[in-house]
Chain A
Amino acid sequence: MTVAIDRATGKRRGDRAPRPGLGQRVKNGLQKYWYAYAMIAPVVIVLGVLVGYPLARGFYLTLTDANSLNSARTIGVNHIDATYEFIGLDNYQDILFGPTAYDRFWSHFLWTVFWTAACVALHYALGLGLALMLHQKLRGRTVYRLLLVLPWAVPTFVTVFSWRIMLADSGALNQLLGALHLPQPAWLEDTFWQRFAAIMVNTWCGVPFMMLSLLGGLQSIDSTLYEAAEMDGASAWQRFRHVTLPGLRAVSSTVVLLGVIWTFNQFVIIFLLFGKNSAPDAQILVTWAYQLGFGQQPRDFAQSAAYGVLLLSILTVFTSFYFRWLKRNDQLAV
């Protein structure tokens, strides 16, 4: 019995419909595939043109010394052709191991990793806490939910400016802290507090999504499981540990992955919170790459693109390990 079930799930993993053998598949399925390929064609074409081609081109740029002084450009009526040259892997060599590699890449890398880990942990912990509270039978639950979703509903670029006003030197937050006789940090000037503020604002922006997703997950857990656990004398903590958390696993693994990806690439908050050309130490890799490519003169296109390639590689490696880890855990659990 168990063996049969194992085999069935094993076969379906990653490819849910049971498939016949290869020869038969090609013979029987050709017309079915024809439909499938016709249907995915629009997306494949759009992605090829809008993502694939620029990506290939961007990768080529990283192998050159392109910047805004030697790229093709038009000044008035004169068109100047590109004069940048192929320099191989020098950009990567310079970014990763060059003389100032630590100041430019590695320090930002460490901060980005810390930023991602801290933000996602806070998102998840606060989101789960609020979801658990909202899941209780409670008067005014809908009102609370609507209010708590607000940070997600308002466009990020709007709320970041609101935070900027509140965090300003004698803004609302410092006035409040002053009234309570607490120290008033220079949120937008001091590196430590800049980082603190960035994490705080991002947490504020990201919790609602986690909260709603986890609330959806909570609502989908079968309530009889809780009754059974209670019958067996499980305490509230044990019920949370052994019923709630496993029940949330599917949702959790998705939202954590999305959270990591989004936070790692979070551009808007840091870019707008500190304005242009300030807070060099609070820049994460994404905003730093943008800074290199568009925030300075001359614009260093090649290095900026190289940062982009590095970022994508980091995320790709992370995602594949994450999936492998999930899969292994699933096997253990099933």
Chain B
Amino acid sequence: MSTTTLDTTKTAPAPAAVPVRRTRRRGERGPLGTALLHGGLALASLIALAPVAWLCYLSLGPDKDDYLHPGGIAGKLTFSNYSFVLQHTGFLDWFKSTLIVALGTTVIGVLVAATTGYAVSRMRFPGYKQLMWVLLLTQAFPIAILIVPMYEIFSELGLIDTYWALIAINCSTAVPYSAWLLKGYFDTIPFEIDEAGRVDGLSPFGTFFRLILPLARPGLAVAAFYTFITAVGEVAFATTFLLDDSKYTFAVGLQTFVSEHDAQWNYMAATAVLIAIPVTVFFYLVQKNLVTGLTAGGTKG
């Protein structure tokens, strides 16, 4: 890992170190610089790729101990793990649970957060600072602080082992988060549009629903996607609050392959690949917007 940093520091000064008389345009490098750049990036990519690639490879080995002698897998590649996982485990149940929880969180979270994102982007009102502070602070909430009281409250309400409990919990992080993200996006929409709306006699609500919301569709999509991903990846609450294995989400279901007594790494790997592929594909489609949304929301807060 550390080699990559070394490479970086080397590549940056490399062009300047060579004293050349001819005019060299900015951004041009000698061949050494280019080689180092490619080397560094290739090495980093390899490190980034390795664990995932390894998982895919292991998922093709038929035996649970194949990871101990991976050389043997190449000779007996099979998709049997996949068919087993799909047919004889709770995979499809988990898939359903994950979808319900994640979609529920997304819909509620984004709907609730949208107006607030707009309000904090456009309006200054007494309590504005406090609200922004609370939105930021809920990011800092360790799961440890809510998990115990939530457990108590939900047991009293009889909501342990229900999807509602998880949706509600995920919303507690997703709502402030979406509001924060959406504020960043609304900030990029010119204020003149609001003013034009006002001049035409729209109320702030009218401006928001008729003008801004349609324009903000990409921002809403990013917030929705981010919420979805976060809800899919939630481990702590799902592990604690879901008891019935037909209601497990992926994050809990995946753990069942690796109990204290028995580790079925081959099925685990196949399941992991089945989970990772669709999520990753979706992720790649929107990744550029994700960062813009995140940092825009943050830097302007």
Is B254 part of the contact surface with A, judged by Cβ < 8 Å? yes
B86 is an interface residue with CB less than 8 A from chain A: no
Digit string of B1-18 for contact with A (CB within 8 Å is 1, else 0)?
Answer: 100110111011101100
A212–B287 contact, CB under 8 A? Answer: yes
A72 lies within 8 A of B204 (CB)? no
Q: A40-B120, A294-B240 are contacts. A151–B125 as well, Cβ < 8 Å?
A: no
B118, A132: Cβ atoms closer than 8 Å: no
CB-contacts of A194-246 with B (<8 A):
200, 203-204, 208-209, 212-213, 215-217, 226-227, 230, 235-237, 240
Known contacts A58-B145, A261-B139, A265-B142; decide if A157 and B269 are in contact (CB<8 Å).
no
| CB <8 Å contact, A230 and B26 | yes
Q: Do residues B258 and A35 form an inter-chain contact, with CB atoms below 8 A?
A: no
Q: Which of A256-274 contact B (CB under 8 A)?
A: 257-258, 261, 264-265, 267-268, 271-272
Interchain CB contact (< 8 A) of A157 among B141, B205, B235? B235
The CA of A67 and the CA of B43, in the complex, are separated in Å by: 50
Q: Can you name the residue of chain B whose Cβ is closest to the Cβ of A318?
A: B140
Verify B233–A150 contact, CB threshold 8 A: no
Considering the chains assembled together, what is the distance between the CA atoms of A33 and B122 in angstroms? 11
Stretch of A3-11, A96-104, A134-142 on the interface side: A134-142
Interface string of B264-289 (1 = CB under 8 A from A): 01001100100110011001100100
Q: Is B192 an interface residue (CB 8 A)?
A: no
B152 lies within 8 A of A71 (CB): yes
Q: Number of contacting residues on A, CB 8 A?
A: 121
Please report which residues of chain A, range 282-334, place their CB below 8 angstroms from some CB of chain B when the two chains form the complex: 285-286, 289-290, 293-294, 301, 304-305, 307-309, 311-312, 315-316, 319
Of B75-83, B89-97, B216-224, B290-298, the segment with at least 4 beta carbons within 8 Å of chain A is B290-298
Q: Is the CB of A36 within 8 A of B136?
A: no
A166 contacts partner chain B, Cβ-Cβ < 8 Å: yes
Which of A130, A138, A171 has the largest count of B CB atoms less than 10 A from its CB?
A130
| B contact face: mostly helix, strand, loop, or mixed | helix
> Which residues of B have CB within 8 Å of A312?
140-142, 145
User: Known contacts being A54-B146, A129-B8, A161-B254, is A17 close to B112, with CB within 8 Å?
Assistant: no
A295 to B12, CA, bound (A): 49
Are the CB atoms of A316 and B140 closer together than 8 Å? yes
From B12, B233, B284, give the contact of A146 (CB < 8 A): B284
The residue from B8, B172, B235, B295 contacting A133, defined by CB atoms under 8 A apart: B8
A161 pairs with B148, CB closer than 8 A: no
Given contacts A150-B48, A235-B16, A236-B12, A162 and B118 within 8 Å (CB-CB): no
B155: chain A residues at CB < 8 Å are 72-74
CA A212 – CA B58 in complex, angstroms? 30
Give the residues in chain B near A237, CB-CB below 8 Å. Answer: 12-13
B137 touches A (CB below 8 Å)? yes
When distances are taken between beta carbons in the complex, the residues of chain B under 8 Å from A277 are 260
Residues of A near B151 (CB, < 8 A) are 293-294, 301
- Asked if residues B149 and A57 are in contact (CB atoms below 8 Å), the reply is yes
Interface pair A61/B295, CB less than 8 Å apart: no
In the complex, whether A144 has a CB less than 8 A from a CB of chain B is yes
B87 within 8 A of A: no
Contact of A147 with B1 at beta-carbon distance under 8 Å, contacts A40-B119, A51-B146, A132-B8 already known: no
Taking a contact as CB atoms under 8 Å apart, the answer to whether B175 and A129 are in contact is no
Nearest CB of A to B1, in Å: 7
- The distance in angstroms between the C-alpha atoms of A264 and B9, with both chains bound, is 29
Mask: chain B, 167-180; 1 = CB below 8 Å from A; 0 = not: 01101100110010
Cβ–Cβ contact B45 & A144, under 8 A: yes
A37 to B130, CA, bound (A): 13
CA distance A254 to B254 in the complex (A): 33
Kindly provide the distance from the CB of B35 to the nearest chain A CB, expressed in whole angstroms.
Answer: 11
Q: Within the assembled complex, what's the spacing in Å between the Cα atoms of A47 and B128?
A: 15
Question: In the complex, what's the smallest C-beta–C-beta distance from B124 to chain A, in angstroms?
Answer: 5
A279 to B18, CA, bound (A): 51
Q: Is A182 located at the chain interface by the 8 A CB criterion?
A: no
Contact status A159-B123, CB under 8 Å: no
Inter-chain contact B298/A236, CB cutoff 8 Å? no
B44 near A: Cβ within 8 Å? yes
Chain A CB within 10 Å, residue with most, of B29, B284, B298:
B298
Are B172's CB and A50's CB within 8 A?
Answer: yes
Note all chain A residues with C-beta closer than 8 A to B279: 153-155
Identify the interface centre among B37, B131, B156, B269: most chain A CB within 10 Å of its CB.
Answer: B37
CA distance A298 to B82 in the complex (A): 39
For residue A84, give the distance in angstroms from its CB to the closest CB of chain B. Answer: 11
Select which of B8, B9, B13, B290 is within 8 A of A130 by beta carbon: B8
Distance in Å: Cβ of A81 to nearest Cβ of chain B: 11
Interface membership of A39, Cβ < 8 A: yes
The answer, yes or no, to whether A149 is at the interface (CB within 8 Å) is yes
A-B contact pairs, 12 of them (CB 8 A): A42-B115, A43-B116, A47-B172, A50-B168, A51-B146, A72-B156, A129-B9, A150-B49, A159-B51, A267-B236, A290-B144, A304-B148
Can you list the 5 inter-chain pairs with the closest CB atoms, starting with the nearest? A308-B145, A129-B8, A254-B298, A289-B144, A58-B149
